Structure 1
Amino acid sequence: MATVHIPAQLRKLTGSEQVEVEAANLRQLLEALESRFPGIKDRLCEGDRIRPGLQVTIDGQMSQKGLAAALAPQSEVYFLPAIGGG
C-alpha cells in the first residue's frame, strides 16, 4: 500500500500524519482518501486537477502527470505547498 503523508492543515480530517492507501495512480489514491475522509479531495483538488499552490511528490520526485501519475505498491506520496519565486 502507498503511504500518504497528510499536510498539517488536513490532519483534522484524517486524525493522522500519514495513512496507507491501495491505489495504482494518484486519481485512485484521492478517491480512496475521499471515501475514508469525506471532504479531503476538495481540499487537494480543484475539478480534475491538483489544486493550484500544491505540489505532489511521489517517491521523492515531483509529479507532472497530475492525477494519472502512477504509484508503486510501496510509494510515498506527499502533498506540499508549491514554492515559487525567483
Structure 2
Amino acid sequence: MDTLRNTCRVTVRLPGPLVDLFPGSPRRLEVEARTVGEMIDALNARWPGMRDRLCDTTPAVRRHINIFIGGERARLDTPLRPEAEVFVLTAISGG
C-alpha cells in the first residue's frame, strides 16, 4: 500500500521558540500529510524530538500548544486539505 496516497502538501508555520530548539529548522516549510498527526510525524522525521515538544503521551497536542488551520483549532486527527496553511503556536502565560 502506498503510504503517501491521498496526502497533500501543506505549509506549516512554526513558532520561534520551537525553531530555536531544533537547529536548521525553518519558521515556514512544506510537508506532505493527510492529518495533523501525520504532519507532526513528518516534522519529527526531519527533527527528531519535535513530536515530544508538540504532543503528550496520550497522544494529543500538548495543552500549551495550539494548532490552527483556517482559523480553527485542530487536533491530531484533523484532516488536511491541499494547500492548507497550518499554524503551530505556543501559549503565552504569565502572572
* Identity across matched positions, percent: 34
TM-score (norm 1): 0.84
Larger Rg: 2
Alignment size in residue pairs: 82
Is 1:80 the counterpart of 2:94? The answer is no
Poorly superposed stretches of 4+, deviation over 2 Å: 81-84
Structure with the largest fraction of helix: 1
Is 1:19 the counterpart of 2:29? The answer is yes
Unaligned regions of 5+ residues in structure 2, if any?
Answer: 1-8
From 4, 8, 18, give the equivalent of 2:16.
Answer: 8
Show the counterpart of 1:71. Answer: 80
Q: 1:11 to 1:83 in 2, by over 3 A?
A: closer
Unaligned regions of 5+ residues in structure 1, if any?
Answer: none
